Structure 1
């Protein structure tokens, strides 16, 4: 009997569902990234659950440090050309091969339609990266999965068209709200499935999808092993109330210095607190606005009370949670529509019995019930934020109550393990046979 042929005209390599783990190529915008620990945790958990992963990153890492979780991930990483002109030979060699594949003209036509609606260099680069990705995919990969609905999903969609492989996507925050609706519709029509990490994301994406392409809500959850709670409330709850100059209340905020995090609003709120209130703020994270924020703190007379620690490792972050009295994150919607989904740092803070003050933006109310598991204020309102912070500074008992309630909610409703099992089940069709990457014989020169 002649060998079965794949959709690309190549002999199939059979894989037994009983003995072979699915092989999934995960396409990332950048890897590793300190600000995307939730993705690294997911990759590690899927790997440990039996999935065989290959990582493809559109960008090289920019952070000097990595989290311990990145060192535990075994999957190999391939870096695609970040800019096509930096690797012209690699791109050209990939194109020479891929242009002979049966699906090339279909993928090229789809890309040209997109290019007419989005005539940008980024759109050209995405197709070039997709050609390299499709060309360099290992022969045993059976599924493509993109993290983020914008650039990574574009590259993955084109690569899936070229290779004939199924694909899926995890949508998160900025990617949902800054991607044009026409682009989202195209991707939802083409992918096998999409998961997203907040109910508000899911509700919006369902308006752009069809019953044939269901959108599933799948909270990231938190790994309670990596963020184990302290032994008992009495050992971790501070009694500071802002009255002792030698022992100020310790505020903590973790996030990139970008518009949607609202750090300028936080600084205005801190400046509005009564001068007699004793507090100190620790900020962890990098970001393009960091220099401006430091200058703003200087103008507001707050510089001596704020410690800017920059990006830090998991262990440093965990220690900062445990040293703090209150966690603050002033989320808001940026001018370009960018916004948080459900910031993992809020779940992490709650896992350490840390009372949280945040805003009603996006999915934050899906985690924090104001007055029960934390305090929420309207976004962009420094006076309301100052009132909430001042209220918790002066009330150690309320901090303890909110911290314990937040911990209970995270443990009950935001478990990491359940989400991973549901996600893993989505990849089961990936054990289907797939072909070796090759050029169909009829197109050979």
Structure 2
């Protein structure tokens, strides 16, 4: 169960799906939304699973919803589902809550490919549909929780879902500890890093440049990859760039879409940075890889957003590190689980443009520092963030369930 598929920003999910298929799992992908990205990663074309799209909005496909409702009346779990829904509704009096019920009824009626297990990616809305469908059908369910879905979900909802899911995995220690604190079954919550498919991010055999910002005709190239949304902190990064001394020559490339792009471009103009920035938009994985290899430095100013949303461990930091590209980031959520300040990257406090500017300037002026930290970051990724270990953990969890006597 996925919120949307395929999505350029969720390569970690796609590589997991492919890994499970290669391990012999027969998957059907249930998506709550149709894709909006105009490009696809190569990994999406390698995944063989059928994709079924639920009604994104119930009024758009009323016949499917009505058939799901009438079919639901005859299922043994219908009364239990309605009891649960009527318990949830007063705590979340929203159209969204009704939509999840309708999607679950549609799924339970259509039940593609005779599925024998339900697994949700994200513990917020996808897990709501999955949980409701599980109650109605009696099919057990599990969940992978990530970042926004954990930190923007109320505690009561996490507690309820962790009580009904057979187990949950999450990708950062902070999320792991938070979820364990909310359930009476802490042993059912597991820490599992996404990791990286190192076959797609093979070793960079070339060399990053020795630019030091002293030559106006050959500026240091700073790269960032991420959606233009609040939690990525691009406004903080722009303000940090505006604090750099005029004698330091640099240019900045941003890869990614996002709702805040227009606002960020306006801020860049206000700060006098427009001529030094290239906004490249969304790109496929192989294009992003080429940019990692061409850049001198990577930056991501992660922050906790006003609504509590935050990154887990951004996959782009792992990707950049795999290419010996030194990273500058912040001490938010799972970032310190990958980067240790002055050991394999530079880590500064969130929401601190001055500290971020200082770290960027130090790295821009010192190619040897970038080389030392970039090499250490690559070593850590290749030793500890190979995605095969996470896939193996998931396989073991599923197989343990299926080996239990019924």
The alignment's TM-score, normalised by the length of structure 1, stands at 0.89
Equivalence map 1:274-423=2 (5 Å): 274-423=245-394
State the match for 1:186 in structure 2: 160
1:150 aligns to 2:121 (yes or no): no
Deviation at 1:140, TM superposition (A): 2.9
> Following superposition of structure 1 onto structure 2, how do residues 113-192 of structure 1 map, counting pairs within 5 Å?
113-138=87-112, 140-192=114-166
Query: Does residue 205 in structure 1 map to residue 179 in structure 2?
Result: yes
Aligned mate of 1:247, from 200, 204, 218: 218
Is the CA contact (8 Å cut-off) linking 1:192 and 1:213 kept in structure 2?
no
Q: How far apart, in 2, do the equivalents of 1:405 and 1:432 lie? A: 41
Task: After TM superposition, give the deviation of residue 259 of structure 1 in Å.
Answer: 0.4
Larger Rg computed on CA atoms: 1
Unaligned runs of 5+ in 1: 1-26, 434-445
TM-score (norm 2): 0.98
Post-superposition shift, 1:50?
A: 0.5
Matched, 1:105 2:105: no
Please list the CA deviations of residues 180-203 of structure 1 after superposition, one character each: whole Å capped at 9, or x if unmatched: 000001000000000000001001
CA contact (8 A) 1:28 1:56 kept: yes
Question: Do the aligned partners of 2:118 and 2:130 also contact (CA within 8 Å) in 1?
Answer: yes
Correspondence for 1:437: none
Higher RCO (C-alpha under 8 Å, 6+ residues apart): 1
Q: Quick one: distance in 2 between partners of 1:402 and 1:130?
A: 48
State the Cα distance separating 1:138 from its structure 2 match.
2.9
217, 234, 259: which one aligns with 2:191: 217
Shift of 1:429: 5.6
Q: 1:211 Cα shift?
A: 3.1
Q: 1:419 to 1:432 in 2, by over 3 A?
A: closer
1:425 is aligned, of 396, 401, 406, to 396
Per the alignment, residue 227 of structure 1 pairs with: 201
From the superposition, tell whether residues 109 and 32 of structure 1 become closer, same or farther in structure 2 (CA, over 3 Å): same
CA contact (8 A) 1:142 1:430 kept: no
Q: Which residue of 1 aligns with 2:67?
A: 93
Secondary structure of 2:224's aligned partner: strand
Provide the C-alpha distance between the structure 2 equivalents of 1:140 and 1:87, rounded to a whole number of angstroms.
Answer: 23
Residue by residue over 1:130-183, the C-alpha shift from the partner in whole angstroms, topping out at 9 and shown as x without a partner, is 111111113531100000010000000000000100000000000000000000
Q: In the TM superposition, what is the alpha-carbon distance from 1:431 to its structure 2 partner?
A: 5.3
Give the ranges of 4+ consecutive aligned residues of structure 1 lying more than 4 Å apart after TM superposition: 429-433
Could you report, residue by residue, the CA deviation over 1:337-370 in whole angstroms, capped at 9, with x for unpaired residues? Answer: 0000000000000000000000001110010010
CA RMSD of aligned residues (A): 1.2
Aligned length: 404
User: Which stretches in structure 2 are left out of the alignment for 5+ residues?
Assistant: none
Which residue in 2 is equivalent to 1:13? none
Q: Once the 2 structures are TM-superposed, how far is the Cα of residue 108 of structure 1 from its aligned partner?
A: 1.0
User: Which residue of structure 1 lines up, in the alignment, with residue 26 of structure 2?
Assistant: 52
Which has more helix, going by share of residues? 2
Distance 2:174 2:287 in 1: 32
Q: Residues of 2 paired with 1:427 and 1:129: CA distance?
A: 25
**Aligned mates of 2:17, 2:292 — CA distance in 1:** 24
Within 5 A, what are the aligned runs for 1:68-87?
Answer: 68-87=42-61
Does the 8 A contact of 2:297 with 2:326 survive in 1?
yes
Give CA-to-partner distance per residue, 1:378-429, whole Å, 9 cap, x none: 0000000000000000000010000000000011111111110111122226
Q: Deviations over 1:241-290 (max 9, x none)?
A: 00011110000000000000000000000000001110011100000000
CA distance in 2 between counterparts of 1:211 and 1:89 reads 40
**Aligned ranges for residues 34-53 of structure 1 at < 5 Å?**
34-53=8-27
1:212 to partner: Cα distance: 6.6
Could you tell me which of 11, 19, 33 is aligned with 2:7? 33
Which residue number corresponds to residue 267 of structure 1?
A: 238
SS at match of 2:289: helix
